[in-house]
Amino acid sequence: MSTKRERAPLPSDGRASEVYRTAAAIILQKGYDATSVSDIANALGITKAGLYHYIHGKTQLLFDIMQYGLDELEREVAAPAKKMADPEERLRFMIGTHARIVTRGNGAVTILVDEARALTPAQGRHIARRKRAYFDYLRATLQELQAKGKLRDVNVTVAAFGILGTINWLSRWVQPDGTLDEKKIAEQIVDIALRTDAARPARTASDMNILVCLKQIPDPEIPARDFRIADIGSANLVADVFGENALETALQFGGKITVLSFGAPSAEDTLRKALAMKADAAVLVINDVNPNPDPLAVAQVLAAAVRKLGGFDLILTGRESGDWGAGQTGGLLAEELGLPCVSFVDKIEEGLRLRRQTESGFEIVEATPPVVLTITNDEHNVPRIPKVRDVMAAHRQPLTTFTASELGAGSGNEYYDVIELSIPTKETVCEFLTVDELAQRLLEVTAGA
């Protein structure tokens, strides 16, 4: 009668641990197939005969290394985590500790993913069961968060695989002597995971901090006879209509809304109207650096203002301005801030479902804040007319003001310069012909055709 013995945990220190760590590092670098027993012995500074005191063949060594890595995950991650009742605290601990194990150069944990194919079928099944138990525990923690309403409506299996994939890939790019130490890297991984797939409560409209960018322009509805190039002539200064569409879209969605304008001091009137429409705060950046800023210069000023004011979940601009009509500031602003941009949006729904207009109809896009949106007009976002009492109250509200020079942005046009502006002229010439001359001309034209 045979007796099956339970495998004792592999030693976590001493010479055997050194053998496992060294061999794992070489396999991680060269791959299992390209690594020889001599490579491992040379790295350890011992003979092959001395190495065989600790191992029983290359395949068995790989199996022992994987067991060693799983033992370390169990000892340093899973066992302490099981004592934590709060799932968010547990998840933070598991991600942070697992990431630190990988970044401190423990290839034994990383090759759990890469080299399992080299094991015997029995060894492979054993390792797969242990890996699955760790994965299931991580997924169960995500499920607990979801049950408590602290996890968005995501597939927890996908989220668990995403977290583990991010951690395991660290060994591919982290440099031991790099500027980021293992603690900082682990903190970044935790932050990324908890901001996206993991423990973050679903955001509602009322939680959003929204910035709407407005522009003051000459009234585009003036009669053509009053149009001037050098100055605004008799035109009134008004808010750009697409900017007001953006503000109306934000007001319908909800949240705390701040309006921002870059321009002349007279742009205060545009901001006061926005406050009367029920925006919560207003900021004016006075243009004291560039009389004719191009879209990139405007985007740089707006980006500097965003950074000065603090983070926003949504940044809305009109799809284009009613004076120049370049339609580029929103996209350039997103690029300056390093944020994604969704263009031609006309409606924002709960959960940040965005409806955007296309040439063939509409698209529905789901976005995650922070994000920049360019808003176009639609029957749903026609700007509201503020009440008289709200207009009066708006003039009593505080207005934050600073200059572009204080922000250190927008002083030059790197994108393009306007050399000359002119009204197109059309010359017409009238020539009187006799019937015979007309006939001759027609013959010449038809002959040439």
Model confidence at 137: pLDDT above 90:
yes
**What value does the mean pLDDT take over residues 290-316?**
86
Q: Same domain for 328 and 383?
A: yes
**What value does the mean pLDDT take over residues 157-175?**
81
Flag whether 5 is in a domain: no
Q: Which residue has the higher pLDDT, 200 or 206?
A: 206
**What value does the mean pLDDT take over residues 283-311?**
86
Q: Same domain for 43 and 69?
A: yes
Model confidence at 198: pLDDT above 50:
no
Flag whether 40 is in a domain: yes
Q: What pLDDT was estimated at residue 409?
A: 80
Q: What pLDDT was estimated at residue 111?
A: 53
Of the three residues 371, 390, 407, the one that is the final residue of a domain is: 407
Give a three-class secondary structure readout of 95-152.
HHHHHHHHHCCCHHHHHHHHCHHHCCHHHHHHHHHHHHHHHHHHHHHHHHHHHCCCEC
Q: Same domain for 277 and 185?
A: no
Q: What pLDDT was estimated at residue 54?
A: 77
Flag whether 77 is in a domain: yes
Domain that holds residue 88: 14-195
Flag whether 240 is in a domain: yes
* pTM for the predicted model, two decimal places: 0.52
Q: Same domain for 167 and 216?
A: no
**What value does the mean pLDDT take over residues 431-448?**
83
pLDDT in tens, 397-417: 898 898 888 888 867 766 677
Q: Same domain for 251 and 134?
A: no
Model confidence at 338: pLDDT above 90:
no
Q: Same domain for 179 and 316?
A: no
Q: Same domain for 381 and 289?
A: yes
Among residues 290, 234, 230, which one has the least CA distance to residue 420? 230
Using CA atoms, how far apart are residues 191 and 198, in angstroms rounded to an integer?
10
Domain holding 255: CATH number? 3.40.50.620
Q: Same domain for 188 and 250?
A: no
Using CA atoms, how far apart are residues 100 and 167, in angstroms rounded to an integer?
9
Of the three residues 195, 213, 236, the one that is the final residue of a domain is: 195
Q: How many structural domains comprise the chain?
A: 2
- SS3 (DSSP) at 275: helix
Model confidence at 434: pLDDT above 70:
yes
Q: Same domain for 145 and 284?
A: no
Q: Same domain for 116 and 223?
A: no
Among residues 214, 93, 202, 78, which one has the least CA distance to residue 146? 202
pLDDT > 90 fraction of the chain, expressed in percent and rounded: 10
**What value does the mean pLDDT take over residues 102-106?**
65
Flag whether 435 is in a domain: no
Using CA atoms, how far apart are residues 447 and 83, in angstroms rounded to an integer?
97
Of the three residues 141, 169, 195, the one that is the final residue of a domain is: 195
Q: What pLDDT was estimated at residue 62?
A: 80
Flag whether 155 is in a domain: yes
The segment with the largest mean pLDDT, out of 76-80, 201-205, 352-356, is 76-80
Q: Same domain for 80 and 227?
A: no
Q: What pLDDT was estimated at residue 100?
A: 80
Provide the pairing of β-strand 361-366 with 371-375: unpaired
Domain holding 97: CATH number? 1.10.357.10
Flag whether 379 is in a domain: yes
Model confidence at 292: pLDDT above 60:
yes
